[in-house]
Each structure stands twice: as structure tokens, then as C-alpha cells.
Amino acid sequence: MRRFLLVALKVAVVLLVIGAAGALTATVGVARLEAVDSGVERFTGPERVAAEDAIQAARGACGSETGERVLRRRRRIITLEILGEPGAGRQEGIPDYRAEVQAYTLFGIPTTKIEVGAGGSISCFDRR
């Protein structure tokens, strides 16, 4: 009986440590994720319109599985180059552009790099 209680106590301590570590990891991850912004705010005019379009295009790309899309919670514009005037792009009022977007996990860790190119092409590159 005494041995059973010692084993039960050890199991309880291990579960408590695992739970605390999980809670700490989630808290730190959420804080890191909150620190990731879209980067759109640093652009104005046609560049801002293109940046917003690139974020939207990247959101629907790269990751056909539901789990992948859930884990990639934020996207940030890394580079943006305007290639043409508004109206010359995929949609009226959006300039033709090329952008690099970085996806971040639920814990704020960079994962997939997404390139949104001229004419609406999208390429995904996983970090490995």
C-alpha cells in the first residue's frame, strides 16, 4: 500500500510538472505571436494596397491540410517590390507587385516563406 502511494505521488508530480511546462510554453508562445505584426503598417499608398493583397493571398496559400493552416497563425511582409501601376495587376486598383511573406506558427516561430509574384503566382518554401 505504501509503495502504491509513493508511485501515485511520483506520477502526480510528473503530471504537474508537464502541465506547468505546457502552460508556460503556451504563454511564451502567445506572447511571441502577439509580437508579430503584418508589417503592412509601414507602407502607404499603392504599396500598402499591394502589401494588404499579399497578406491576403498568402493566407489562403501554402498548406492544404487544416492543421497546417491552424498552426500558421500570422503572416508578415518581409519584402515588397512594386512592378506596375495600380490597375496593371490582378485586380483593379492593385498594382502588380512581388512580395515575400513569412508565416509564423501558433508559438511565434517562423515557418513557411511565401513568395507572391507578378500575375498572382504563389510559391511556398518550408523551413527545414
The span from the CA of 105 to the CA of 27, in Å, is 14
- C-alpha radius of gyration, the chain, whole number: 21
The span from the CA of 91 to the CA of 52, in Å, is 13
Per-residue model confidence as pLDDT tens digits over 70-100: 566 788 999 999 987 766 556 677 888 999 9
Q: What residues does each domain of the chain span? A: 36-125
Torsion of CA 99, 61, 110, 15, to 10 degrees: 170
Residue 113 has pLDDT above 60, yes or no: yes
Q: What grid cell was written down for 28? A: 511564451
Per-residue model confidence as pLDDT tens digits over 28-65: 445 555 667 889 999 999 899 999 999 988 887 776 55
Q: For the whole model, what pTM was predicted?
A: 0.66
Residue 124 has pLDDT above 70, yes or no: yes
- Is there a contact between 95 and 85 (Cβ–Cβ < 8 Å)? yes
Looking at this protein, which amino acid is placed at residue 8?
A
